[in-house]
Amino acid sequence: MKKHIIALTAIATLSVGAAGQASASSVHTVEKGDTLWSISQAENVSVQDLQQWNNLNSTIIFPSQQLKVEEALETYVVVSGDTLSSIAKKHNMTIEQLMTSNQLTSDLIIPGEKLVLEESNVIQPKVSAATTTSATSNAPTSETKAPTSETKATASVEKELTMTSTAYTASCAGCSGITATGINLKANPNQKVISVDPNVIPLGSRVWVEGYGEAIAGDTGGSIKGNKIDIFIPSKQAAINWGHKTVKVKILN
């Protein structure tokens, strides 16, 4: 995808964010072989959205599990000048509640990002009596059990790198908005995507980037070589604010 690194010169502008109630949700029943990534692509939403709407702390899903694939909670769209503190105060929440509802690990928020303003309810998988025996026989043993909340963060990390990062948008002159893996960033501005050197991070990898969160290695660039990544941020000003920084990058299983 054609893009350019935005120079660190601009003046921030303020606008008014919007909060609203989304329509009733649709549900996807997980089938064998499904992943959050494949579901996100089929439903034209982001992996992060699916995790937020279903209160998932990881990308692990199971057959017969029912997932919301449309937003059904009151949300707020972040605008330039917003902070977690100002948004929480405006909606009678605490910063901790806002971070928990959106699974935020830092106070970094990006214009255009949607924040959930209420706690979501996870739709638990339905298990019938006929499938109980099968489910039990396939349950993780003590040696292969799913990671607990204490080990989840480290158990899912395949590799950790220290990389140089810059930021880009899909709104530059000549930009198609379509990534190397076919993600339409103009149609999905809240999709978290990074541009990588495929020789360092394979395309399609699920990654965690310090200060950015979980994303997909879904794009490439002519200047992105070696230990360098380019962060997609929908807002030009936020991309400018990101600048040029060294970050930790974790390649996740």
The whole-angstrom separation of Cα 159 and Cα 33 is 24
Is 164 a residue whose pLDDT tops 90? yes
pLDDT in tens, 16-75: 455 544 333 478 899 988 888 888 888 888 888 888 878 888 888 888 898 888 765 677
Per-residue model confidence (pLDDT) at position 147: 37
Q: Considering the domain 156-252 in this protein, what is its CATH number?
A: 2.40.40.10
Instruction: Collect all residues with Cβ–Cβ distance below 8 Å to 151 and sequence separation of at least 6.
Output: none
Separation between Cα atoms, residue 194 and residue 202, nearest integer Å: 11
pLDDT of 237 reads 87
Rounded-to-integer distance, Cα 30 and Cα 159, Å: 28
Lowest mean pLDDT segment, chosen from 46-50, 62-66, 93-97, 147-151: 147-151
CA distance 127 to 63: 10
What DSSP state is assigned to residue 8? S
Domain with residues 18-137, CATH architecture:
Roll (3.10)
Q: Is the pLDDT of residue 123 over 60?
A: no
Averaged pLDDT for residues 152-161: 66
Residue 146 parent element (H or E): none
CA distance 198 to 204: 9
**In terms of Cα–Cα distance, which of 72, 6, 40, 31 is closest to 184?**
40
Does residue 136 have a pLDDT over 70? no
Tokens 């360098």 correspond to: 228
What residue type is assigned to position 65 of the chain? Answer: Q
Q: Where are the domains of the chain?
A: 18-137, 156-252
pLDDT at res. 73: 61
On the question of a common fold for 18-137 and 156-252, the answer reads: no
Across residues 188-210, what is the average pLDDT? 91
pLDDT tier at 83 (50, 70, 90 boundaries)? Answer: confident
**Which is more confidently placed, 155 or 209?**
209
Cα 245 from Cα 174, distance rounded (Å): 26
Element (H, E) at 39: helix 36-43
Q: Residue 141: which residues within 8 A CB-CB, separation 6 or more?
A: none
pLDDT at 216: 92
| Cβ(208)–Cβ(250) below 8 Å | yes
Amino acid in the structure at residue 244: H
Mean pLDDT of 79-87: 87
Return the minimum-mean-pLDDT range out of 16-30, 61-75, 99-113, 211-225: 16-30
- Distance, CA of 130 to CA of 107 (rounded, Å): 46
* 5 or 62, which is more confident: 62
